[in-house]
Chains A and B, each alone.
Chain A
Amino acid sequence: MIRFENVTKVYARGARPALDRVSLDVERGEFVFLVGASGSGKSTFLRLVLREERASAGRVFVAGKELGNLSSWKVPHLRRQIGAVFQDFRLLPNKTVFENVAFALQVIGKPRHHILTTVPETLEMVGLAGKEKRRPHELSGGEQQRVAIARAFVNRPSILLCDEPTGNLDPTTSLGIMRLLDRINRTGTTVVMATHDDEIVDQMRKRVIELSTGEMVRDQSRGVYGSDR
């Protein structure tokens, strides 16, 4: 589903590469944790998958397409197959929960009847049934993240990218979010989650890829957060 072949990303000429000759393969339906200190290249990895950045060297394949050759007008189609969730939720404050989720479908031109059936379905799945008319500021952090996940998943992407989705949440709430991501993963969606949260990684026992200053230092199935354990 995602394949990196010797990918290097250099932001500024002469600077240390943000990613240094990284090669890896993520299969369809996998759940992968991306761990490492701040600045280790986790976000760059996600940005490369979203094609917000292009690799400086090497090749990136996502959903069967080589992103280096992808012309920019095809990028939106690539992104429709990828959902993205962030630490800061990125909800629209002046829209209700329903509108926030529907927005993702409206802007890619889905018909109204499709939106009216899919959005409530997805909101129920993330556990927000009955809160459709609330605004983001009326919700708890965990609920806001659920809205963000619903928005990322409402178009049924084959890949879900999460950039520290539990970074702003307390442990209990984080656990709920992880259960939700696990459920989404069970529907066949590939999930890649960048995180600092060792408890969660240790609990879930999924594949762990560790980056350190741009290099991949560990790729362990059913791994834990710290490599020394």
Chain B
Amino acid sequence: MTAFLALLTRDMRLAVRVGGGALIGALFYLIVVVMMPFAIGPDLNLLGRIGPAILWLGALLASLLALDRLFATDNDDGSLDLLMMSAMPLELAVVAKGIAHWLTTALPLIVITPVLGLMLNVDLPAMGWVALTLLAGTPALTFIGLIGAALSVALRRGGLLLAILVLPLTIPVLIFGVSAANAAIVGPAPFGPPFTILCALSLASLVLGPFAAAAVLRQGQE
């Protein structure tokens, strides 16, 4: 357990220090959301209606941004080999890295979501619902993304490959995230079913993602 916490704090420290990507994801999210009205037009009614969808897409893209560095930097400086040889199961190490990644990239993004929502004319209670769905859904994005991050390390290249492999797998998360947010804001469909499925997707990927990612990493080192 101490090894788990040590790895978690190490990754978080690396993320917030110079050269880390902690706030880059949130900044990217900000820029993507700001770009949307330029493409769609400054019609506040339209923006208010598709606001939750824009925020979800922005979060999806932002969570991809820092993913390819997740194992790549450890692989470059050799600490990935140490993680593999340590007494802690590799799956658990992958979970620790995933949680650290979520805390440093997804959480800041959720925190700034209400501010961005105001710019998109999504009112404050609705913003709370969007933030709640993001809170429930972004772990799934991170833990599905772990598989892609591991693949891009195992193949020695693949920053671009990662997006191609991971994005189709995140379609269910996007669907249930946006439909839960819309159900809460405009109705008439109930909020419960899509939200609980969203939570289920997060929990299932929390279990399956690390196993697949660890398997990929092991195959890559052979």
Is B a genuine binding partner of A? no
What residues make up the interface of A, taking CB atoms closer than 8 Å to B? none
What residues make up the interface of B, taking CB atoms closer than 8 Å to A? none
